Amino acid sequence: MVVSIPPKMSVSDVVRIIKCNTGKAMKEKYGYLQRLYWGTDGIWSEGYMVSTVGVNEEMIKLYVEEQGKEDLGQTLFE
């Protein structure tokens, strides 16, 4: 996602707003997510990556893959 942020807003605030709004919308659209993520506020992981310059596509791909591995067990039931 490429986002243009006004100078008066912090990156962390924008990420928080995006995650909050998309998480709520997904839970409303897909009711099973309410049960899957019971007892937690959000469905997104805590981290995010931000770069203004110097990051190429390969670095982004590696970050996303590693984040996926870290979050893999998040929704598994015993």
What digits encode the pLDDT tens for the residues 47-75?
Answer: 887 776 667 778 877 877 887 676 665 55
In contact, 23 and 44? CB cutoff 8 Å: yes
70 neighbors 45 (Cβ within 8 angstroms): yes
Give the range of the structural domain holding residue 30, as residue numbers without chain letter: 11-75
Tell me, yes or no, whether 35 lies in a domain.
yes
78 band by pLDDT with thresholds 50, 70 and 90:
very low
pLDDT tens digits for 10-26?
Answer: 989 999 999 989 988 99
Both tokens of residue 19?
Answer: 């995650």
**Contacts with 36 (C-beta within 8 Å, 6 or more apart), sequence order:** 43, 75
- 60 is a domain residue: yes
Is the pTM here over 0.95, yes or no? no
Q: Is residue 15 part of a domain?
A: yes
Total domains in the chain come to 1
In a domain, 3, yes or no: no
The answer to whether residue 43 is domain-embedded is yes
